[in-house]
Amino acid sequence: MNLTEGIKSALSGIVSNKMRAILTMFGIVVGIASVIMITSIGEGYKVSMNREFETMGLDKVSINTDSGNGQRIEWEDLLTYDDVAALKKYDDIIEATASMGYGFGDAVELLDGEMATAFITGVDEAYYRMEKTIKFAHGRNITEQDVEVASTVTVISEDLALQKFGRTDCIGDIIEVNTWGVPLELTVIGVTKSDSASAMAAMFTWYQELYVPISLLQSVYNGGSNSVDGITIKVADTKRISEITENAIRIIEMNHGNEGKYSANSVADMMGEVDSVIGIFTMFMGIVAGISLLVGGIGVMNIMLVSVTERTREIGIRKSIGATDFNIQFQFLIEAVILTAIGGVVGMIFGYGGGKLFALVAVMVTGMSMEPFISWEIVGLVVAISAGIGIIFGVYPAAKAAKLDPIEALRFE
């Protein structure tokens, strides 16, 4: 019996028992669909998150003080705006900016009369040049002149504008922030656009964020000190990001006359960590879903054993007219492989469809767009797994059929 005849015979056996074949494939379909759905969602989120990180800028690095190595951070070790000026002189750094922030409880009265916690972040004009994701709906950003004179101005989001003023076009309006008992009146000069993702995030955020000139916070709350919470740089060559970052830290250490008190984190590092977490979670869930494949494989073996019993007389007839043990074994093995292969294809279709449905629900719930992603490697792996299940769980029934004695098989009723 050649391959073509074996496939025809196997298909004939499957067609003659349609309901049994469908029920046999069900376990395989569910198992493959579960694995594909979980994998496609995991890969889809990874692609989506990477796209977000790329939008943030893979060429950005954040530098902060670090006492994690056991060293004590003294006042003179704090990052300052002078460090920003020094870093801007380094040719491999395109841009450098600094930020600092303070939180104030029950600081802003909203339109509905509720008091909201405010977090005021001090930035300079370079901050908006580096943050590509920020788009203005109204007004302007904080300028170099605002920083020089410590202007009492602020940039807010559309979400805060609606909650405070009931409209987004509120340029020139005043927001009064109660900062530790001292009112700070800020004139709105800019309103940034809010997308669905930021609106969803705002629902789970316990504070309202306002951006002001960094010099304003330094003069009012830092006692005139030019220290900052952190510095962000934009490197000229992402391939040399580690080298440039190390040099940037050396420049800061030279400014302060210390060593080992600063650490750096890049967007690329964060992307790698997120990819790792998503990958581990996807793998774990895939393994859990894969257990259903094992159950499906056992189902295939069970049905094939029943098939061997029902077709014992047929096997005897085939052997009596010259069929070898290999021919019999090959026929039943091919039948098992075809069953699992069809189940694998159907499972991939249902799995990808389930992933698309999950993505639609996720967009409605979280506002974050995500497209299920299946690589050709995954498709190849699923095909191999399906065929492997057919071979592994079809070998025993096929071997049992091949070992039947033709005389005993002909006597079987």
- 222 lies in the same domain as 255: yes
Give the pLDDT confidence of 13-60 residue by residue, as tens digits: 677 777 777 777 787 888 888 878 888 887 777 777 767 666 666 788
The answer as to whether 46 is a domain residue is yes
- Looking at the fold, whether 128 and 245 belong to one and the same domain comes out as yes
Residues 227, 122 share a domain: yes
Q: Which of 46-60, 100-114, 186-200 has the lowest mean pLDDT?
A: 46-60
User: Do 224 and 172 share a structural domain?
Assistant: yes
- In a shared domain, residues 36 and 147: no
Q: Please tell me the pTM assigned to this model.
A: 0.62
Q: pLDDT by residue (tens digit) across 216-238?
A: 998 888 777 888 999 999 888 88
Query: In terms of domains, do 202 and 174 share one?
Result: yes
At 99, phi and psi to the nearest 5?
-150, 160
Collapsing DSSP states into helix, strand and coil, what is residue 78?
A: coil
Asked whether residue 360 is assigned to any structural domain, the reply reads yes
Q: What is the pLDDT of residue 87?
A: 93
pLDDT (tens digit per residue) in 158-192: 989 999 999 999 999 999 998 877 788 999 999 99
Q: What is the DSSP string of 93-127?
A: EEEEEEEEEEEEEEEEE-TTS-EEEEEEEEE-HHH
- Choosing from 232, 260, 288, the residue where a domain stops is 260
Same domain, 293 and 393: yes
Distances (CA, A) of 330 to 3, 127, 224, 302, 341: 9, 69, 86, 18, 16
Domain boundary among 201, 229, 260: 260
- Is the pLDDT at 1 greater than 60? The verdict is no
Neighbours of 109 (CB within 10 A): 15
| Euclidean distance between CA atoms 336 and 330, whole angstroms | 10
Check if the beta carbon of residue 319 is closer than 8 Å to that of residue 362. no
Considering only residues 386 and 102, tell me which one the structure prediction assigns the higher pLDDT. Answer: 102
Residue 65 belongs to a domain = no
Residue % of the chain over a pLDDT of 70? 86
- The percent of residues in the chain predicted with pLDDT above 90, rounded, is 23
- According to the model, what pLDDT value does residue 200 have? 47
CA dist., res. 192 & res. 315, Å (int): 77
In three-state secondary structure terms, 288 is helix
Q: How far is CA 74 from the centre of its chain?
A: 38
Residue 233 sits in the same domain as residue 303: no
Q: Domain for residue 359, yes or no? A: yes
Who wins on pLDDT, 87 or 368?
A: 87
Can you tell me the distance from the alpha carbon of 220 to that of 211, in angstroms, rounded to the nearest whole number? 15
Number of domains, the chain: 2
User: Does residue 66 lie within any of the structural domains?
Assistant: no
Task: Identify the band that residue 408 occupies on the pLDDT scale cut at 50, 70 and 90.
Answer: low
What residue numbers bound the domain in which 205 lies?
Answer: 74-260
Note whether 144 and 233 are within 8 A (CB).
Answer: no
d(CA 369, CA 37): 17
Within 8 A by CB and 6+ apart from 199, the residues are 159, 367
254 plus 278 within the same structural domain = no
- For residues 84 and 329, the model is more confident at 84
* One domain, residues 240 and 293: no
Confidence of residue 11 (pLDDT cuts 50, 70, 90): confident
- What pLDDT shows up at residue 195? 65
Residues 200 and 337 occupy one common structural domain: no
**Among 260, 283, 314, residue at a domain's last position:** 260
Shared domain for 125 and 26, answered yes or no, is no
Q: Answer with the residue of higher pLDDT: 76 or 9.
A: 76
Q: Residue 219 falls within a domain, yes or no?
A: yes
In a domain, 95, yes or no: yes
